[in-house]
Structure 1
Amino acid sequence: MSDPSRVRFPWHRSAVRVLTTVVAGAASLVVISTVVYLASGEISRLDDAIFESMAGFTTTSLTVVDPEALPAWLLAWRALTQWLGGLGGLAFALVVVPAFGGQRRLSEVAEGRGRKAVLARTWSHNTQRVVSAYVGFTVLVFAAYAAAGMGAFDAATFSLTTASTGGFANYRDSFAHFDSAAIEWVGAGAMALAGVSVAALLWMVRGQVQALWRSTELKFYACLILGATVLVAAWTWTDTGGGADTIRGSFFAVTSSISTTGFRAADWGHWVAAPQILLLVLIGMGSMAGSAGGGFRLLRAIEIFGIVRRELVMQLHPRAVVPVRVSGAVASEASLTRVHNFQILWVLAIAFGVFGIASLGGDMPTAVSGSISALATAGPGLGDLSGFADATVLAAPARGVLMALMFLGRLSIYPVVVVIGWGIGEIQRLRLRL
């Protein structure tokens, strides 16, 4: 039986059809949600309804509404859009993107025998496992929130937006509303797990310690969380009063950033510069490949580090053969080329966002942080976006730039670029025929 993660769709028209279907499907979900918001009467402006829908299905915590003014059913809808967006992102990452080289296939995230035990069946079997893991994790988060003191409705909606790394909250001040150490600890831990790949989560459930230990990406993820928490706590110790509250707040901010969830227990946009920059870097790097989170992805970052190391060694030893290894496995040159190409597209997308927002009246901290955060599908930023994910501080055209970045980030850039390129080519061919 063939490994579904190795399946390649036929190129040219059939490939474009698949990618066009994906892009059109994602856009259709945004349209449906936009109609729901407008029909509810709670959002009157079309652009605001589109923005809220885009933020929902791209699992970005930016919002243009006051959640405390919305009815319960609409809060539930907001949370559901993010949960569905997270599930769709997982399915997309497992099937479509790997088939077209947009990222390394998920089976390369889960190396060796541990990988084959988790994802080596049919597509339908893989889908069943992913959905079961996603639903099971959501239920676990719901139970943990309820045990920590959240009400049933809050626990249900927050579990949906936590498992999906979406970050929508029922309150303007996000987690700060609860003023509960227990709830913040649960939220931080849940966000940390939400940024872990599905394969690694299944290893944890099965007790496959060796597979977990072999994963370079998982160890890198854990070290980043631990190291960043220590640094943020040290930098903010005096300003935040020190003690357990500072440690908890630092851990919460770090897990919210690296998982690209975007919840806030404090407005870190008003901290000193060092932790702000670190958290923004974590947002850009993002979560593990094969998780519901966004960002550049740690697996790609590890490969970039490997490429840099190889180039440095070859400067000293030009004839040396220096393979790039991830979890003991040698990364193929084709994989490294894809990562390099994705890096270029990522930088170009951020440059587009920075130029667009800055030219529409945004200051540089807002433009840079907003572009990185939107492309990573996180939400929090600096400057005008340093509050609790309120995007109304930006002009409508600038919010349009953020929407484009969110859409690109959720679909991992490649499909959108391919479809646009194909469309331009078809228009040119049509003009030549005329």
Structure 2
Amino acid sequence: MNFSIIIFVLGNILKVEGLLLSVPFVISLIYKEGMNNTYGFLIVMAILFVIGVLTTIKKPEKKSMQPKDGFVIVSLSWLLLSFFGALPFVLSGEIPSLADAFFETASGFTTTGSSILRNVEGLSHSMLFWRSFTHLIGGMGVLVFALAILPSTGLDSVHVMKAEVPGPVFGKLVAKMRLTARILYGIYLVMTAVLILFLLAGGMNLFDATLHAFGTAGTGGFGVKNTSVAYYNSPYIETVIGIGMILFGVNFNLYYMIMVGDIKKIFESEELKIYIKIIFWAILAIFINVGIKSGFSMKLLRDAFFQVSSIITTTGFSTVDYNEWPVFSHIILLVLMFIGGCAGSTAGGLKVSRIGILMKTSYAQLKKVVQPNRVVSIRFDGKVLDSNIITSITNYFVVYMLVFVVLLLLVAFDSPNFSTAFSAVSATYNNIGPGFDVVGPAGNFSDFSDFTKIVLSFSMIFGRLEIYPMLILIGSIFNNSDLK
């Protein structure tokens, strides 16, 4: 591995985090929140800048970057960002436990939205802002953000982008990687700004509207009220956020196609069609299932729409305690947790494209069982898929399930029942936020031990980076030959 490049890039990432912390620092001054908060941000900013400057004074002589270097850089970056991002919570005393603060910050950057906080409204404005601001930065990718704003270093950054941008296949929008990053973040930030305006029009104050827009854009789900979006009791706000979550769960490459006038790509996207169909049928099924039990109403339709939008996009906002819904509706939401949003979006989960290809692969194999000599081509988006892509998606699914089982076994030691353990891992691994039972929308993760909170924090990072970067980092640590 090229250690000089790894250290150099990590140093730049830490400087970016130091710069980002200046925003909640200013918020703490505006709201006059006291020296604990102000010094907490200042101390961490100083540490990050010192480390960043010391590790980037000298540019690496060898600028070539291998795929393994990219995976290790991405994994270490997210671990370091979560650790240093947790320190302001600890130093301010608002989340005094480092394990709790690390969990909360990892949940923010990975846009998971799981929380250990029993009283969200007890946090100061600056800490609430920092907590939600991590959603905005982590949604499109911290390293993508760094690549977009940092001066060019001449490094080959394609391997970093491949390791961080979610989805089975990575594609550049334009020839230059830096310009691709800027286009993606430009679209992302413009959509976020528009969402803020819509929420302001619905009666939210600027602070609440901004933080809810951050949570929606990053499909993270951190709110500012203990009862999440239900606090506002507004059909308009629920509809705006619900539609916003669905839009941010769409592949951002399609928005670029709209920008350049290639509208035809929207209608050709098989993933988008599957995504919309899943949302429609899930809403209808839950509406009928819950309606039969408790009566049909427009409120139920809104709740079904909102929760399906929230879960499939792995956002985690809530307007109702779906723990009280029938088991059939629980199963639908659980399935949506694993499906997730579209590739190239800010959503987590397996991704709709992978699910679609896995289903087509299974159907093709069934055909071959009936007719062994038959040649079956698997098409997606109108194109015949290469066998390497099919194999890589199948292999990813197997690894995904194996890691899930390991995480489940570790969390089971500290869980009161199977439903809590299974949904806690499902919610963190797929970057959802709330699960069922103890960790449902009316609960939180505070009752777990520090060990389990750390395991679940790693579960979030595993899920956000789609497993391989973290496995490669762990493999490199335990295999000395990989470090050479």
Shorter-chain TM-score above 0.5: yes
- Counterpart check, 1:384 vs 2:438: yes
- Counterpart check, 1:24 vs 2:88: no
Query: Conserved in 2, the CA contact under 8 Å of 1:158 and 1:169?
Result: yes
Shift of 1:16: 2.6
Q: Which moved more, 1:209-218 or 1:360-369?
A: 360-369
- For residues 200 and 294 of structure 2, what CA distance do their matches in structure 1 show? 28
Look up the SS of the partner of 1:220 in the other structure.
helix
- For residues 339 and 50 of structure 1, what CA distance do their matches in structure 2 show? 31
Q: Aligned AA for 2:133?
A: L
Unaligned runs of 5+ in 2: 1-61, 146-156
CA 1:99–1:370: 2 relative to 1, 3 Å? closer
* Residue of structure 1 equivalent to 2:123: 70
After superposition, the C-alpha distances for 1:198-229 in whole angstroms (9 at most, x for unaligned) are: 01233445664421111100000000111111
* Residue of structure 2 equivalent to 1:84: 137
Query: Conserved in 1, the CA contact under 8 Å of 2:427 and 2:434?
Result: yes
* Residue of structure 2 equivalent to 1:212: 266
CA 1:402–1:94: 2 relative to 1, 3 Å? farther
Query: Conserved in 2, the CA contact under 8 Å of 1:191 and 1:255?
Result: yes
CA 1:365–1:398: 2 relative to 1, 3 Å? same
- For residues 402 and 345 of structure 1, what CA distance do their matches in structure 2 show? 18
Q: Aligned AA for 1:201?
A: Y
After superposition, the C-alpha distances for 1:16-52 in whole angstroms (9 at most, x for unaligned) are: 3222211111111112211111122211111111111
CA 1:429–1:131: 2 relative to 1, 3 Å? closer
Work out which of the residue numbers 153, 156, 166 in structure 1 matches 2:210: 156
* Residue of structure 2 equivalent to 1:55: 107
Query: Conserved in 1, the CA contact under 8 Å of 2:166 and 2:345?
Result: no
Q: TM-score of the superposition, structure 1-length normalised? A: 0.89
Work out which of the residue numbers 364, 381, 387 in structure 2 matches 1:310: 364
After superposition, where does 1:414-429 map in structure 2 within 5 Å? Answer: 414-426=468-480
Work out which of the residue numbers 131, 150, 168 in structure 2 matches 1:104: 168
CA 1:98–1:325: 2 relative to 1, 3 Å? farther
* Residue of structure 1 equivalent to 2:375: 321
- Counterpart check, 1:43 vs 2:43: no
Shift of 1:287: 0.4
Unaligned runs of 5+ in 1: 1-9, 108-117
Look up the SS of the partner of 1:291 in the other structure.
coil
CA 1:275–1:369: 2 relative to 1, 3 Å? same
Shift of 1:87: 2.3
- Counterpart check, 1:180 vs 2:234: yes
- For residues 455 and 318 of structure 2, what CA distance do their matches in structure 1 show? 23
Work out which of the residue numbers 313, 322, 325 in structure 2 matches 1:259: 313
- For residues 187 and 318 of structure 1, what CA distance do their matches in structure 2 show? 49
Shift of 1:427: 6.8
The count of corresponding residues between Structure 1 and Structure 2 is: 410
CA 1:120–1:425: 2 relative to 1, 3 Å? same
* Residue of structure 2 equivalent to 1:279: 333
After superposition, the C-alpha distances for 1:50-105 in whole angstroms (9 at most, x for unaligned) are: 11111111111111122100111111110111111112169399863647998532
Query: Conserved in 2, the CA contact under 8 Å of 1:165 and 1:195?
Result: yes
Shift of 1:146: 0.9
* Residue of structure 2 equivalent to 1:110: none
Identity of aligned residues (%): 28
* Residue of structure 1 equivalent to 2:402: 348
CA 1:88–1:297: 2 relative to 1, 3 Å? same
* Residue of structure 2 equivalent to 1:337: 391
Shift of 1:244: 1.3
Q: What RMSD, in angstroms, separates the aligned Cα atoms of the two structures?
A: 2.4
- Counterpart check, 1:269 vs 2:333: no
Query: Conserved in 2, the CA contact under 8 Å of 1:229 and 1:254?
Result: yes
After superposition, where does 1:227-246 map in structure 2 within 5 Å? Answer: 227-246=281-300
Look up the SS of the partner of 2:219 in the other structure.
coil
* Residue of structure 1 equivalent to 2:45: none
